[in-house]
Structure 1
């Protein structure tokens, strides 16, 4: 267990690092006076592969709602998750900062350090929007620390419906680990019981929340964090199969057909949310964002990329991202604007008209000027690390430094998206530059905890862990 002294010290280092970093690339674009603040619907999938949507290249899974969302806005093909695993990315989404500034962001330590989580003293996106007059709700997966010390309503959300942990059985709404079942479905801080497929229950909760928010008369942030298509591998028709699963990690299950059913169920859920926006008269003034918390796993498609969840190859960190904002972002467009999860905090603060003087220190960049202009933005360095296989990565423009399992690489990911041509000896100056940039960035982050929960590949190619 971590001592109180260790946690306090780590928090102090985090605060100092944040103060030194400042507002990296945060170009404010305040909302004009008198213009109505936009609503925000942020839809987050779980472990969805880069090419798992029709509009990103998948032809054996039907995703008509998400394809229509792309047709109504912009599809971002150079979107990156802050991490190749779940909760670190979610922490970056809440804070607009590199997750390694916080003890809870150190590569899924929540599995072995239950005392960790997103502290209520940390200023979050829902905190800031709430101060600006927004109603804030989270429906779906939290995964940033459990009760009684952590939770959505301690970090800026007015209302919560969903699960606290990293995953849940789609029918039993809890996890079975080593033969012990723990139920995990909540409304705010009250445990509740519902009957139904979890993806449908999350969609139900979002539709109900959109109706309540319509009547509230305030702009809103609704975070719709689906668990699909995260394991266990259960489609809507698999309730009887689910009863035979002895452990929620379910390494020996699933199929392409089951995965397709899970993704298609997610798409139907998104369709219901978009239809509710239309029926409520909210669509024209709502920013809708759809993305994933990390790259795909097991049955996902990532072509033309390589890699998967838990790896810093492109397939583990590049995610499909869609954005629709009627009248502000040109419909039916594709963009190669490089962006990362933490960028959504300054971007949405700017869209909501929150003055930059009221922003905390952020590592993310405000994407709004580039999104509204259809520009690809100026290059800037981005960094990742992952304890498993001692992975390290630094990206600047199209060049990417990668260290993995004791080997080092330099890739041009525009010319070589599958990361197979190592340019380390061809462009030695660029290799050394990016390697040094990673080392400088890493020195400003918290070190790994001695017992940080890490991902390791099992013999069957499945990642062990959350």
Structure 2
């Protein structure tokens, strides 16, 4: 028998200190204390829901006031949390942008596809193979209208595009970063598109995306719909509404050939500017949710809000260690909120460990879509847990990035650092990952390492550098 099994739900708190901090913040922000998640008794089957999946870019686990931020105020997202379920132990599919998007769009480990091996995609030869089934293509086959607004980051034209991978409509940017006003992207070219054609709009990007999303959710349709709304906020450069002068300086550097230096904005930004950007994201989400409510579709729409990876330079991460690009908790644990008024009660908190590929499987099941048997999912549907109170199946959460590895089983986490050192942490008592129990539990360490290597053996190898 394995040395450990998953602990009971009541014990899966994902770090007692973390839950206490985040739970207290949410009670204050939402006006009433959260209660442990419990599925609502099933009523009559309703119509298939719409799906609004919102992704923030480089937003850290504790950057929302409902997750414990002491200085960032996010009333709209706090309200979303109060209206549904807040997950304390939710993870991104990887520690950087495009691999996580691969894991969400395909429901599979990023390492199962060539494009997913890039961490993140930077070359125009890399991307999501249009022949690979996606969340959008499978839902479209099941009768859904599909659209993606915002950051794609899974390949460039002419070979890769959301409209080549199952989305009926696309408005946004192809690359991993862009200057918020000029729309200059990571290779220095203009990067705002409607479908496959460039679209000129030099206003602040978050504002532009919000307007598009408000228009989209306000439409009346005869069929259910999927909207992936992918903001670039609060990803660098550290530019907020009203920062046109700083934006022009960075755009000039990009045009002059200093592309990544200009976009990465290493000589700018601050905690206060980051706060301003996160709060503008909160306002944007609030506008989209208000439009959804006015449209009369709120009750029948599943809203998921999450981030593509952990936070970066100015993010508030406490008490987690690590940040974006690392497989320590700060690099992969992300805020995640789920609301579905027709089927889920509000003011609830779940401590179940879940991650990006699980949401793919969940939305497919809720939408009555079947995965392609030739491309089996790595995620597990949470529909039974959310709707019927079933236990989440016992399984390991697996991550692989070049130079790091991690696997979570229950509260135990196996982690290998960039120097090749293996570590073992009990996240139930040490979410900060400071008490390394590898020497004290060598058998458990070996068991989890073997489990990681078994999954890894079925993935594509990294190309030689």
Task: Give the TM interval when normalised to the shorter protein.
Answer: 0.7 to 0.9
Query: Would you say the 8 A contact 2:98–2:120 is kept in 1?
Result: no
- The equivalent of 1:10 in structure 2 is none
Q: Which residue of 2 aligns with 1:3?
A: none
Q: TM-score, normalised by structure 2?
A: 0.86
Q: Give the equivalent residue in structure 2 for 1:27.
A: none
1:75-154 map, 5 Å? 75-108=86-119, 110-111=121-122, 113-154=123-164
Measured against aligned partners, the alpha-carbon deviations of 1:60-91 in whole angstroms (never above 9, x if no partner) come to 11101100000000000111111100000000
Q: Secondary structure at the match of 2:408?
A: strand
Q: Which residue of 2 aligns with 1:432?
A: 446
Mapped partners of 2:375, 2:292: distance in 1 = 31
Equivalence for 2:322? 307
Are the equivalent residues in 1 in contact too, given 2:102–2:154 (CA < 8 A)?
Answer: yes
Contact 1:330 1:372 in 2 (8 A): no
Counterpart contact for 1:338–1:376, Cα < 8 Å: no
- Report the count of equivalent residues: 413
Structure 1 residue 254, shift from structure 2 partner: 0.2
Is the 1:330–1:374 Cα contact (8 Å) retained in structure 2? no
Check the 8 A contact 2:138/2:370 in 1, yes or no: no
> Is the counterpart of residue 35 in structure 1 residue 49 in structure 2?
no
Secondary structure of 2:167 counterpart: coil
The secondary structure found in structure 2 opposite 1:319 is: coil
Question: Given that residues 295 and 319 in structure 1 are in contact (C-alpha distance below 8 angstroms), is that contact kept between their aligned partners in structure 2?
Answer: yes
- Structure 1 segments of 4+ aligned residues over 6 angstroms from their partners: 31-34, 356-359
Sort the Cα spacing of 1:40 and 1:413 in 2 relative to 1 into closer, same or farther, 3 A. Answer: same
1:138 deviation in Å? 0.4
1:239 counterpart = 2:239: no
Matching of residues 269-348 of structure 1 within 5 Å: 269-348=284-363
Residue 36 of structure 1 deviates from its aligned partner by: 1.1
Give the 3-state SS of the residue equivalent to 1:283 in structure 2: coil
The question of whether the paired residues in 2 share the 8 Å contact of 1:138 and 1:152 is answered with yes
Say if 2:129 and 2:160, in contact at 8 Å, map to a contact too: yes
Between 399-408 and 287-296, report the one with greater CA deviation: 399-408
Q: In 2, are the aligned partners of 1:104 and 1:116 still within 8 Å (CA)?
A: yes
CA distance in 1: counterparts of 2:186 and 2:350, whole angstroms: 42
**1:415 matched residue in structure 2:** 429
Q: Which residue of 2 aligns with 1:5?
A: none
Per the TM alignment, residue 375 of structure 1 is displaced from its structure 2 partner at its CA by 6.2
Aligned to 1:217: 222
Out of 337, 361, 385, the residue aligned to residue 400 of structure 2 is 385
Deviation digits for residues 103-157 of structure 1 (CA, Å, limit 9, x no counterpart): 101142631x421211110000100110111110000000000001110000000
Q: CA RMSD in A?
A: 1.8
**Structure 2 Cα separation of the partners of residues 290 and 54 of structure 1:** 14
Q: Normalising by the residue count of structure 1, what TM-score does the alignment of the two structures yield?
A: 0.86
Change (3 A) 1:243 1:232: same
The 2-side partners of 1:378 and 1:318 are apart by 20
Q: Cα distance, 1:260 vs. partner?
A: 0.7
Q: Deviations over 1:158-190 (max 9, x none)?
A: 00100000011111112366xxx3110000001
2-side partners of 1:110 and 1:406: how far apart?
25
Report deviation, 1:450: 1.6
Q: CA deviation at 1:330?
A: 2.0
Following superposition, the deviation at residue 379 of structure 1 comes to 3.3
- In structure 2, what is the Cα distance between the partners aligned to 1:103 and 1:33? 43
Superposition deviation, residue 32 in structure 1: 9.9
CA distance in 2 between partners of 1:352 and 1:132 (Å): 8
Cα contact 2:176–2:186 (8 A) shared by 1? no
Rounded Cα–Cα distance in structure 1 between residues aligned with 2:370 and 2:176: 34
Query: Matched residue of 1:139: which SS?
Result: strand
**Equivalent residue, structure 2, for 1:230:** 235
What is the Cα deviation at residue 372 of structure 1?
2.6
